[in-house]
Amino acid sequence: MDWTTLSIAGLREQLRGGAVSARQVAEEQLARIEERDNRIRAYLAVSPKRALAQADTIDRRVQAKQPLPPLAGVPMAVKDVIVTRGVAGTAGSRILENYRPPYDATAVARLEQAGAVILGKTNCDEFAMGSSTENSAYFPTRNPHDPERVPGGSSGGSAAAVADGLAVASLGSDTGGSIRQPASFCGVVGLMGSYGRVSRYGLIAFASSLDHIGPFARTVRDAAAVLQVIAGRDPLDSTSADVPVPDYLAELDRPVEGLRVGVPQEYFGAGLDSEVRAQVEKGIERFRELGCEVREVSLPHTDYAIACYYLIATAEASSNLARYDGVRYAFRAPETTALEEMYRRTRRAGFGAEVKRRIMLGTYALSAGYYEAYYLKAQKVRTLIYQDFVRAFQDVDAIVSPTSPTPAFKLGEKTEDPLQMYLADIYTVTGSLAGVPGISVPCGKTRAGLPVGLQLFARHFDEARLLQLAHAFEEAAGFTL
């Protein structure tokens, strides 16, 4: 049996019954990475010593007949913007190439407390800025379904690792779609909780009011199991919400008959690929077959979402990335004699083109004379987008849409046109700006065999309803790896 393809619950039962050991699973998973990852390059760093030590801890618990934690022995990967003690934390950037964090992110610590085996760190767009994982300073990651195409971004490595069987589940980060869009491109489940549901402590910041940590998995049930572990208030993160975490797994199998699902008319206009539209419309019909009431809703400020997002996100990036100046830690340009020269040369050599572009855009938007015209106005538009969702959720329990306007595009296809790359996030940034939870689940494939994702949004902190609907759709449609 290929132990690396079991579900989280299935693997736990096999461990408890003695059919396999956690070390055996970890060794098989590490061997699979060694054998296969040269094809797609999902990992930036692998940590076998840490993985096997955790596996041995789980095996000792099994031998002592102690209760097993919820993620016992589950091989997982972590996006390289989420710090892990002693393992390279580069954020996909040269400026942090030699950084070894002295602590674990809260999400990572909670995973290991729950028994997960951390295999290593996955590739990503530099500082999570991108939609294709081509902006990594080290190498691009490829889509397991077609290595000539991108896996999406910025969490492309985490999505590709799960899709290619190089991890049972993984963690990514989502600022404007960076979990949901690569989940769509790679044909896996990608979940972004409400803003504040999962601690951001240990997440290398891109845009602090938009950043989330969330899971990738093969199934909705596995994604729910991971969220159950990492969700909840963290005193180390002042933005984490003190909101009770329900039992997501217990809620999954509740019937969805009678629930109201909204279809936003603004998400089905120009720019939506015809094959993607056809698959998503089939998915909407599936909800009708499940007994849901499908209603049309309107999110009227959607047209302003991309401009709003790329003003707020770049402004916050400009502020957050100011710390990488060569003074306190990380890369410093050699042979500089003056402070200003050292700043300039360090940031010129350490940052890639997309990061520089966003820093400059954000600095401009925050500068004297332009703050009110750009950043402040974007914040007002963000409030209007938030209010769109609040009004829509007065009439429906969830909103369904495409995750991305297209299937995975070819490597290099959009690198010379940043605006076209930004438009890949057109259906995901709205939920990020509103702070609501979102999930992408597979809903079919194009004629070329490329996965298509269906996106669901729910009310703030109603991840249980989101997962319930996603699970019912997945069970009815049968689209799993």
Q: Give the relative orientation of helices 106-113 and 220-230 as an angle to the nearest 10 degrees.
A: 110
Task: Write out the two tokens for 59.
Answer: 């095996």
Q: Which of 21, 132, 155, 178 is catalytic?
A: 178
154 included as an active-site residue:
yes
Q: Name the region of 73 (left: φ>0; alpha: ψ -120 to 50; beta: rest).
A: left
Q: From CA 395, how far away is CA 386, in angstroms rounded?
A: 15
Total Cβ atoms within 10 A of residue 295? 13
Q: In this structure, what DSSP letter does residue 376 have? A: I
Is residue 155 flagged as an active site residue?
A: no
- Amino acid code (one letter) for 476: A
Which residue of the set 21, 47, 79, 240 is catalytic? 79
* 374: CB partners within 8 A, 6+ apart: 311, 364, 365
Q: Which two tokens stand for residue 166?
A: 């190089």
CA atoms of 356 and 318, how far apart (whole Å): 9
Q: Which helix (H) or strand (E) holds 175?
A: none
Measured CA to CA, the distance from residue 342 to residue 474 in angstroms comes to 53
Q: E strands of 265-387, at which residues?
A: 293-297
Residue type, 151: P
Alpha carbon distance, N-terminus to C-terminus of the chain = 16
Give which of 470, 260, 192, 262 is closest to 479, Cα–Cα.
470
- Three-class secondary structure of residue 443 per DSSP: strand
Residue appearing with tokens 């998915």: 283
Given the residues 131, 154, 155, 240, select the one marked as catalytic: 154
Catalytic residue list contains 79: yes
Residues with catalytic roles: 79, 154, 178
